[in-house]
Each structure stands twice: as C-alpha cells, then as structure tokens.
Amino acid sequence: MSGEPLRIGITCYPTFGGSGIVATEIGLSLARRGHQVHFICGGVPWRLDGFVDNVFFHEVEARDYPLFDHPYALALASKMVEVATYEKLDLFHVHYAIPHATSAHLARQILGPAAPRLVTTLHGTDITVVGHERSFLPITRFSIAASDAVTVPSQYLKDATYELLGLPGEVPIEVIPNFVDTDEYAPGPRAPGAPRRLVHNSNFRPLKRVGDVVEVFARVHREIPCELVLIGDGPDRSTVELKVRELGLTRAVKFLGKQLHFVEVLQGADAFLLPSASESFGLAALEALSCGVPVVASDVGGLAEVITDGETGFLRPLGAVDQMAEAVLRLLRDEPLRLRMSQAARASAIARFPREPMVARYEACYRRVLGR
C-alpha cells in the first residue's frame, strides 16, 4: 500500500448480483492492503464469508411501520452518519446511485464540513433499467452529480449514463472495469466421460431471458447429447422450470439454485450462455471466461467489452436463439476450436480483468478525491 491506511464505508445491495460481488471483492482486497473497511448494508453481502481482518459489518435496520412505507434510504443515511462519526470514515464508496448515493449525500449534509468524501459506482440497473424513469430521473442525476467521483464498469455504461440521464459533460465518469480473481476462477480437470455441459448463472430476472437459455439448449440437445446446469434463482425460476418440463428436458437440465461456490461447475462446462436483454458488463460471463469457458451471449450493452466475438466467445443479436444454438454447436463439434477459444478466454481474463490492478485504480480514485 502506498500512503496512509484509509477508513472506508462501503454500501451495496447484499443480494445475489454482480454489484454486491464487486463491492465485496473491492472491500476484501482493500482490507488485505491494510485499509479499514466498514460495510454498511441492509444484510451481510452475499460473498462476505466469516471473519476477515480489517473488515466490519454494520446492518441497516429499516423498520416497517404502516405510515412509513420505504424507510430503507433514510435508515441507511442515519446509519452512515453513525458509522462515519464513530469510525471516523474518510470516504463512502456506494454501489448504485439510488438510493445509496442519495442516502450518502443526505448523511454528508448532516455531518457537515468534516463529512467523508463520496465515490459512487454505477452498475447498470440503476441507470439503464430504473434510474432514467421519470419517477427517479431527477434524484438519480442529482445524486450522481453530488458525488466527488463516479465510476462505471464499462464504456457502454458511461455513454448510457450521459445519454439517458442528460448528465452534464462536466461531471466526469471514470471507467474501471469489473475484475475476477483469476486464481480462484481457473480451469480445472474435467471428469472423464462427463457429459457435454452448458451453464448459465443469474438472478433469473426477466432481463436475463433464462427462457432463451432453455430454447438454445433445446436446439443443441436435439443434435448432441448434453446437459444444462442453471445456477441462481429469482422471479422467473418457476416459469423456466415449467418450460423445461413442457419441452421434456427435465432429465437434462439441473437447477442448482443460489450457489456461493460453483467453480467446479464452470470447469466442466463447454460453453456459458448469457442471452440477456441488457448488461452493463456481465460479471458472470467474466467468471466463465476466467475458467476457460467460451461465452455465447447477446450482443447488448457492455458485453462486447468483455467477450471478443469469434475469439473468446460468440455475440449474437438479442433473441436470436437459432444463431446462438448454432454457435454452441460449432464449439461442441469442433474440439480444436473449443480449445483455442478456451485458452483465449482464460488469457483475456488474466490480461484484461485482473483483480489487484483494478482495486489499485479504486484506491487511486479515493486518494484523488481526498487530495492525498
């Protein structure tokens, strides 16, 4: 670590999703570098597991009360004030503009001139899905502009933020790509005689289009015996299970539900499917690439910044399940091609998305806003 240790408050949604994973990994890495990290969240973040030196957790308790419908943002602001005061925080790093940057702004107003600085990382849903709707637009734009620094994981999200929010050009946004622990997410042995395997991992929200995953799989399965492993859970799970039953694929499709440790599932995969309607980055795709698994995805959002079409995977138009199935079949039928793409996927994850250099960029950003 260069420079004095910092005291950093990190806020993210603790649920199953890329933003919480990125926030947690940044915090853990900063703690290993000697900084003191205080997670201020509505629950323990998904991948924050057990005791870690220099890491503290402060739960935001949002009480339900009949007259008082949405207390989370205010309870968070109060907790931020409390933690900043007693732990002498230098900086809040919040993930998601709404409501986290809004709560942090309110906390800073309460704390006055000695308040911590504010770094906001946008992740996608807060801009491309919800943040630009009329009911949220003014507060999203305000909260971003009130931050001392703003980061995004892709050039796509940077452009979308200026365009969808009408954000003035003088509010700078820095692109710091998401990253992966390439030691943990690494290729491993494939069990001899194991079936060919396709994998998908998401929170089963409608925008993930898990139905398309099953459609692609059904087309591939007609040609070549294989299995589909689905990791995750969410609102579309029952509909997808019904579709699998209707297509007569129950024996070939495994629903694993939410999993903390799934590297072995990826290590045995021939292809990873991500046919989403929108992705600012696609962290799940990066985890697959790092394990040497080529990704077949829709050509939307920031996915082209993560997957190189024809080299580390295949990008196809949104909803083009026939073309996606064709791409998977190419991989399954041409072993030298699959091997070449697997090696390129792994090399790309190591060269372009390594964890420590990206965390160093966040640290540099903190020191810049702190003037140190």
Nearest 10 degrees: Cα torsion 304, 259, 18, 265 = -20
- For binding to ligand GMT (CB under 6 A), which residues are involved? 17-20, 22, 123-125, 128, 153, 178, 203, 205, 207, 278-283
Query: Is the Cβ of residue 60 or residue 286 nearer to ligand GMT in the bound state?
Result: 286
- Matching residue, tokens 């091997």: 339
Q: How far is the CB of 16 from ligand GMT (least distance, A)?
A: 8
Q: How far is the CB of 350 from ligand GMT (least distance, A)?
A: 19
Q: How far is the CB of 156 from ligand GMT (least distance, A)?
A: 9
Retrieve residue 11's tokens. 């806020």
Q: Residues in the chain, how many?
A: 372
Query: Is the Cβ of residue 40 or residue 306 nearer to ligand GMT in the bound state?
Result: 306
* Rounded (10°) angle between helices 72-87 and 102-111: 50
Residue 136: strand, helix, or coil: coil
Query: Is the Cβ of residue 29 or residue 36 nearer to ligand GMT in the bound state?
Result: 29
Query: Is the Cβ of residue 303 or residue 332 nearer to ligand GMT in the bound state?
Result: 303
Query: Is the Cβ of residue 146 or residue 306 nearer to ligand GMT in the bound state?
Result: 306
| CA–CA distance, 372 with 368 (Å, rounded to integer) | 6
Query: Is the Cβ of residue 52 or residue 277 nearer to ligand GMT in the bound state?
Result: 277
| CA–CA distance, 6 with 38 (Å, rounded to integer) | 11
Q: Which residue sits closest to ligand GMT, CB atoms considered?
A: 124
| CA–CA distance, 200 with 180 (Å, rounded to integer) | 17
Query: Is the Cβ of residue 115 or residue 273 nearer to ligand GMT in the bound state?
Result: 273
Q: How far is the CB of 23 from ligand GMT (least distance, A)?
A: 9
**Residue 221: Cβ-neighbour burial (10 angstroms; 0-12, 13-18, 19+):** buried
Query: Is the Cβ of residue 129 or residue 329 nearer to ligand GMT in the bound state?
Result: 129
Sheet holding 36-41, edge to edge: 55-59, 36-41, 7-11, 91-95, 117-121, 149-152, 174-175
Q: How far is the CB of 353 from ligand GMT (least distance, A)?
A: 11
Q: How far is the CB of 70 from ligand GMT (least distance, A)?
A: 19
| CA–CA distance, 93 with 206 (Å, rounded to integer) | 29
Q: How far is the CB of 29 from ligand GMT (least distance, A)?
A: 16
Q: How far is the CB of 250 from ligand GMT (least distance, A)?
A: 26
Short-list 116, 74, 125, 58, CA closest to 95: 125
* Conformation bin of residue 50: beta by default, left when phi > 0, alpha when psi is -120 to 50: left
Retrieve residue 256's tokens. 């694993």
Short-list 245, 231, 236, 237, CA closest to 200: 231
Residue 274: strand, helix, or coil: strand
